[in-house]
Structure 1
Amino acid sequence: FSYYFGFFDRTTELRFIDQPGFLNSITSDNISTRGINGEYGLAYRRGLKSNNFLSLGASFEPQRKLASKKVSSTFIFVAPEFTGSASDVVDTLIATPDTGDVVQPMHYSLGASLNLNRKWTVGIEYDFWEWSKLEILGNNPALANSFSLGVGIEFWPDYRASSDLLKSGRYRTGFRYGQSRVILDDLNLNEFGISFGFALPLLKSRSFSSLNVALEYGQRGSEKRNSFSESFTSVNIGVTLMPNQFDRWFYKRKIE
């Protein structure tokens, strides 16, 4: 189970750039939310011949309502630019706080992987989000359902190696394709990416604790489909701490 809490601000501006003396406005919506949600999952692993393993998994997160509150403030000013000074403000309107729910969309995931001789692992995963059912205090932001399909390969030269850093590391590459929740020209934005990465053990042992580095290049949208496209590159660095029987620091000493 997870406990969600936080807030976000949304600002809308109305300016008359070429009309001095006209009343301009800035409206700020502050929305806070909190609540509990749960994600349920199943996992299955079966040994095959020749030291191979098949793993299957599924997870499901149901639609939930999170208690929320919105406070809106509107500042009306005449100056071409709002500097934040009280002298710029002609009038201030603060609406009565509005309470309600944020409807969190349903999400499910399906995955499978095949491990070959403890060296090669091939995996596939499918994710689906029902963003069309998202509601924020009764308002639907008109998003589309989205999905993502990913395929990846991992190579582990020698899982028993402890002194050779390169042999004990794991090397990965993958590809993903999907459609985002954003709608442009009445169509979802397509998105794809290709990634490369590696994981190196933090300790000079057969520990599963590792340093993870990944580089991804992708593209979102299409000039032909949505009259919009962009490319992006991301670098991800993380640390996995997974104590096991090979980590000496995890053992409780009899004599301190």
Structure 2
Amino acid sequence: MIKRLIVVCIAIISSSAFAQQGTASPYSFYGIGTLKFKGTVENRSMGGMGVYLDSIHVNLRNPAAYVGKNVDAFPYDGESRPVKFTVAGTMSDTKLKSNSGEGETNSSTFDYIALSVPMGKFGFGFGLLPYTAVGYKLDDINDDGDIENRFRGEGGLNRVFAGLGYQISEKLGFGVDFSYNFGNIQNAAIEFAYTPEGELVQYQTREDNRSDLSGLSLNFGLAYKTMVSEKLELSATATYAPQSKLSSENQRFYNTIVINTTTNVEGTINTSEADLEADGLKNTKLNLPSRFSLGAGLGKPKSWFVGAEYTLQNTSNFSNPIFSNDVSTFENASQVAIGGFYIPDYDAFSGYFKRVVYRAGINFANTGLVIKDESIKEFGISFGLGLPVGRGDDFFSNANFGLEIGKRGTTNKNLVQENFINFNISLSLNSRWFRQRKYN
């Protein structure tokens, strides 16, 4: 198990170092970027629902999952929960459509790496994940076909977290995550100038901005599970992340540039730094909005499960003067996720596909972003497979594959509609590190 973890870690770190920008969405222009974190591949394959908690999968949405109930005697001899490790990545293909044209873009990204360790009635978890992503290249073209503005951006917010869960009773668990958020956002803007004859002026001005972000946040979780009949189990979860603040250290530079109209290469002639201190923008505070979710589901243990989850995020309180603009505002964000899974026969010794987990889900979301008085909404359907890959004590390890198909945004008021396909892959590895000694 240890060797496998080392190999996987090296592979993920190496691949993420060469990965493309984590998003190519034009909507990442606004605020601190588009939200990347939607849970594990298992969650995303069920519409983003995080209600189902068990002892063999890491659940990054609810820290109460760190304690999960003990698995049955097979194959752990009824002694202890397994240590859980997970790592994942996503490849995306997005078609962009507006009233003035169409385009296509793709991206690949590292999603998360996490470990959960059982400790009696406690459970401990920690990991790293990208939280938001910025990545766009936009040209604003007028009716004559000339570029009026060009915008570029990259970066995003990352999150390293550590959490602790506690089994209050046989049916109820509680947990809390402590997160340190960090990252930077860089963007550039050029307002093109032309001569009266329509020729591009030789010297243009480019504005470069950089914001370095950091701060702490919390996430609390509750999980309740009980048998409501001989075969049916009820699961209910709740999470709450209070509003937190990030510190933003900002820089702004004005550059005189020359643009090669054939290659679009920009050559910098000179640079001057803006005095943000005088405008009160050198060091600002950014509000990360509070978030609350509530979910419930019903199923037959180790066979099937169906559930739903509602999430509300108070994004109307999002603010940072350095990111303000004249065309966008924020309202409260919300999401409804419905999904579930089916396992034909989880402990079948013959017939591999009887042990495969089949997942599906659907979600409806209001992202909280409002542009030109248009609320930016998102819709998606998802499917997934959990393929067993373990043997012996690693019997419940699996490779998870997910497919998300959906759309974000609208073509109203010349905005952009994104039609996306996301392919997700993760490894969920399990092993019992702590055995009780037995004597004959």
Q: Provide the residue aligned with 2:185 in structure 1.
A: 8
- Match among 164, 171, 190 for residue 377 of structure 2: 190
Q: After the TM superposition, which residues 184-223 of structure 1 pair with which residues of structure 2 at under 5 Å, given as runs? A: 184-204=371-391, 207-222=395-410
Give, in angstroms, the shift of residue 166 of structure 1.
Answer: 0.8
Give, in angstroms, the shift of residue 83 of structure 1.
Answer: 4.2
Q: 1:140 to 1:162 in 2, by over 3 A?
A: farther
Percent identity reads 28
- Match among 57, 67, 70 for residue 247 of structure 2: 67
Q: Provide the residue aligned with 1:93 in structure 2.
A: 272
CA distance in 2, matches of 1:234, 1:136: 31
CA distance in 2, matches of 1:198, 1:221: 28
Give, in angstroms, the shift of residue 125 of structure 1.
Answer: 1.2
Q: Provide the residue aligned with 1:40 in structure 2.
A: 220
Within the alignment, does 1:144 sit opposite 2:324 as a pair? no
Deviates more, 1:218-227 or 1:8-17: 218-227
Q: 1:21 to 1:74 in 2, by over 3 A?
A: same
Q: 1:225 to 1:19 in 2, by over 3 A?
A: closer
Render the CA deviation track for 1:217-236: whole Å, top value 9, x for unaligned.
11223457987533211111
Q: Provide the residue aligned with 2:422 in structure 1.
A: 234
- Match among 295, 299, 305 for residue 121 of structure 1: 305
Amino acid at match of 2:272: L
Give, in angstroms, the shift of residue 154 of structure 1.
Answer: 0.6
Structure 1 or 2: larger strand share? Answer: 1
CA distance in 2, matches of 1:121, 1:178: 22
Render the CA deviation track for 1:164-212: whole Å, top value 9, x for unaligned.
3211111011111121223244121222111111101221458332111
Give, in angstroms, the shift of residue 59 of structure 1.
Answer: 0.6
Determine helix, strand or coil for the equivalent of 1:16.
Answer: coil
Which has the greater radius of gyration?
1
Structure 1: tracts of 5 or more residues without a match: 245-249
Q: 1:35 to 1:230 in 2, by over 3 A?
A: closer
CA distance in 2, matches of 1:169, 1:78: 58
CA distance in 2, matches of 1:79, 1:215: 41
* Alpha-carbon contact 2:187-2:209 (below 8 Å) kept: yes
Render the CA deviation track for 1:43-92: whole Å, top value 9, x for unaligned.
1111121221111101111111112200111102355667454xx51x42
Amino acid at match of 2:426: G
Within the alignment, does 1:166 sit opposite 2:353 as a pair? yes
CA distance in 2, matches of 1:156, 1:106: 36
User: Higher relative CO (CA 8 A, sep ≥ 6), structure 1 or 2?
Assistant: 2
Within the alignment, does 1:24 sit opposite 2:204 as a pair? yes
Within the alignment, does 1:76 sit opposite 2:280 as a pair? no
Give, in angstroms, the shift of residue 19 of structure 1.
Answer: 4.2
Determine helix, strand or coil for the equivalent of 1:208.
Answer: coil
* Alpha-carbon contact 1:144-1:183 (below 8 Å) kept: yes
Structure 2: tracts of 5 or more residues without a match: 1-177, 277-281
Q: Provide the residue aligned with 1:52 in structure 2.
A: 232
CA distance in 2, matches of 1:180, 1:226: 19
Render the CA deviation track for 1:115-169: whole Å, top value 9, x for unaligned.
1253110011112222221122565562232111111121011122244321111
Q: 1:68 to 1:151 in 2, by over 3 A?
A: same
Q: Provide the residue aligned with 2:95 in structure 1.
A: none
Q: 1:214 to 1:20 in 2, by over 3 A?
A: closer
Q: 1:226 to 1:127 in 2, by over 3 A?
A: farther
Aligned residues: 246
Q: Provide the residue aligned with 1:247 in structure 2.
A: none
CA distance in 1, matches of 2:413, 2:365: 14
CA distance in 1, matches of 2:181, 2:413: 36
Deviates more, 1:132-141 or 1:209-218: 132-141
RMSD, aligned CA? 2.7
